[in-house]
Structure 1
């Protein structure tokens, strides 16, 4: 399975690089998709950090109400940035060219979710649950 992942991660950028002269906005679209991926990934971390106190998880290291306000602002800014990156800019072009970043992002997300739910790789680890959470002494272990 890993050899296919390496193959795809090498071939897809190669195809994009060879196809990019066919479109005058190819570089902008490629960079926008990469930025969308970075913002989307970061927003999952911000969302998790924002949701932890709401789930009743309280730790001494939690930044408190100020940290929660910062997390909410970071989440709002990230969502705004994602919408801004995906927003159509040129109404004179075909719809698919206007929404190419959003379409490609949806394809990547959909493919990842399909892979996650059909292969169940996330449930095959042998690490004990909660091993990354610090214990009461502050050292990693069962939290």
Structure 2
């Protein structure tokens, strides 16, 4: 499992924007940058849509003021779902990272199997990475949303 001091795994993400489909490697996203990365079990799910993502949208300017270059939201969903969710949530300040097969989430050691409910998903967590190395990490207990929220992460950047 990823821990403080660990480098983020190598991965290539598909990202959809107004300009269309593009790819970005973990090196392009994280190298030489201070990044907040939070993960949700699924786009359009209640806690993710009502609290987790909106908290980062509302606090985006405060993160930027504290030197954060990019705020990323990770989910085991495809890029089309992540883009639709981004638009639905007015979350243009957030880089939506689709981990369709869950391979990045698994490489982090933070995948969970929800069985028939949805299959492989990300555990709810948030981290700060500087130059691709984890400097802060908060992992939620199952079914909880207490330590990976925007307010908590603001205290760690």
**Which TM-score bucket, shorter chain as reference?**
under 0.3
Larger radius of gyration: 1
TM-score (norm 1): 0.26
If asked which structure has higher relative contact order (CA below 8 Å, sep 6+), I would say: 2
TM-score (norm 2): 0.24
> Which structure dedicates a bigger proportion of its chain to helix?
1
